[in-house]
Structure 1
Amino acid sequence: MLGARPWGSSPLTGGRRQDKVDIEAVEQENDRELDHLADRVALLKNVTHGINKETNDQHKLLDGMDGSFGSVGGLMGAVATKFGVVLDDKANKRMIYGLVAAAALLFLVWYLMRR
């Protein structure tokens, strides 16, 4: 039969009982999903705090390296200036050429022995 209702239920009470159960089930599901969403938001918050901390640490490291490279650049400039002074003397030039030739000869011997 079409439109048949269970025995002893009226159209108002039977329908309301069913709607109440469905609403409670939906609310419980929403609560579970909200709890799950809160957990995910907390996890995301922890990850973003970790990224922020790592970024700050990297900035501090880069700032320290900038200062170090600046001092190394100054030292290299001083070494280049002193090397220029040494190269101005003819006797020193011969000695440097001899050292470069000896290093090249040692490298050549090493290379030939390696083969």
Structure 2
Amino acid sequence: MRRAGLGEGYAGGGYNVYEEENDNLTEGLREKVTALKSLSIDIGTEVKYHNKVLDEMDSGFESTGGLLGATMGRLKHLSRGNQTKVLCYMMLFALFVFFVLYWIIKLR
């Protein structure tokens, strides 16, 4: 029967310590990778949501641009017309606004 020397038992025990430490580090790395994967999935979901919101805003701005373009076209058409007629309408509108404001102030 052969007896294990001090060096042989220590070497075998040292190997187990390193193996256990390696397993602990591997488990810690696995947890970090899982957390990182979860975070990246959440970021991807958030990016998709924000892209959808931006697309909706883009279509809203396009429709507003169309509306402004039509309004500008009407203003150009109005400015090409008879200037005295436009000036008369603006004066009548201003008088109407002043009359309404005067009437509201008097009622108080």
TM-score normalized with structure 1 length: 0.67
Which residue number in structure 2 is paired with residue 102 of structure 1?
none
Give 4+ residue runs of structure 1 displaced > 4 Å after superposition.
Answer: none
- Deviation, structure 1 residue 58: 1.5
Matched letter for residue 10 of structure 2: Q
Aligned partner of 2:86 in structure 1 is 92
User: What is the CA deviation profile of residues 79-104 of structure 1, one whole-angstrom value per residue up to 9, with x for unaligned ones?
Assistant: 111112222331214628x96xxxxx
AA matched with 1:25:
V
Match of 1:23 among 6, 15, 23: 15
Please report the TM-score for the alignment, with normalisation by the length of structure 2. 0.71
Task: Provide the aligned C-alpha RMSD in A.
Answer: 2.2
Is 1:72 equivalent to 2:64 in the alignment? yes
| Overall identity of the aligned pairs, in % | 27
Distance of 2:87 and 2:34 partners within structure 1: 69
Q: Deviations over 1:52-75 (max 9, x none)?
A: 111111111121112111111110
Partner Cα separation in structure 1 for residue 76 and residue 21 of structure 2: 80
Aligned partner of 1:57 in structure 2 is: 49
User: Relative contact order (alpha carbons < 8 A, sep ≥ 6): 1 or 2 greater?
Assistant: 2
Gaps of at least 5 residues in structure 1 are 1-9, 100-115
